[in-house]
Amino acid sequence: MWTKKAFIIAAFFTMVACANDNGVNEDAQREIDRKNTQPIHYETNQEKKERLHVRDQTIGEKGGYPQTHQDKANDANNKNGYTDVFTNEEAQMIAETLQNKREIVQAQVASTDDRIIVGVILQAHAKQKDSVQQIKKEVKKLVPNTDKQIIVYTDDIHWDRMKNLDARLKAKNNGDKIEQYINEFINNNN
């Protein structure tokens, strides 16, 4: 029995020795493989730029967007210093007053020798006709000693209103057309 134990111990030491020797050879082989091969690394162009800290030029650095030549576009060409000939102190005063109204979202006013033209965008809940009349009254209060015609434009589109009216008139006449169509169909099949 003693020989069996000696044999098992000898076999164990042989295996351990071979394993250590094999490990040394594997490390050497890995080192040789590492020197002879190059790792494959996949990266996008954007990742490469980020890694190398390279960035694209901005529009401003490239010279900006091409500009059109509109000489003196913002120069004031009237005596009051406004860029628009229809904008004056009267028009600005009316516009500022109207914009403070609750039912008005935005107001724009132009004033000529014979007219005051007001364009407004109203809140959704504002009644169109009532608001227009109120705006005309307000402008008359602001400029009491004037014979100018006051014209108010709103964001209510006349074309849409007429289109809806036309659709309602057609729908109203559909009953008569269907009755006529059914009568013709019955008479033709007899």
Torsion of CA 101, 106, 110, 114, to 10 degrees: -50
pLDDT for the residue numbered 1: 53
Q: What is the DSSP letter of 126?
A: S
Q: What's the mean pLDDT in 31-51?
A: 79
- Coil/strand/helix, residue 16: helix
- How far apart CA 136 and CA 117 sit, in angstroms, is 10
Q: What percent of the chain is helix, strand and coil (3-state, nearest 5)?
A: 55, 10, 35
Q: What is the pLDDT of residues 84-115, one digit of tens each?
A: 677 888 888 999 999 888 888 888 999 888 99
Mean of all residue pLDDT scores within the chain: 77
Q: Please indicate, yes or no, whether the overall pTM of this predicted structure exceeds 0.75.
A: no
Side-chain-side CA neighbours of 57 within 13 Å: the count stands at 6
pLDDT band at 68 (very low <50, low <70, confident <90, very high): low
- Coil/strand/helix, residue 52: coil
Other CB atoms within 10 A of residue 135 CB: 22
Two structure tokens written together for 136: 């005309």
Residue 55: exposure state from Cβ atoms within 10 A (0-12, 13-18, ≥19)? exposed
pLDDT for the residue numbered 24: 56
Report which residue type is found at 163: K
Q: What sign does the dihedral 81-87-88-92 (CA atoms) show?
A: negative
Tell me the residue length of the chain: 190
Residue labelled with tokens 């250590």: 20
What angle, rounded to 10 degrees, do the helices at 128-142 and 89-99 form? 140
- How far apart CA 119 and CA 53 sit, in angstroms, is 53
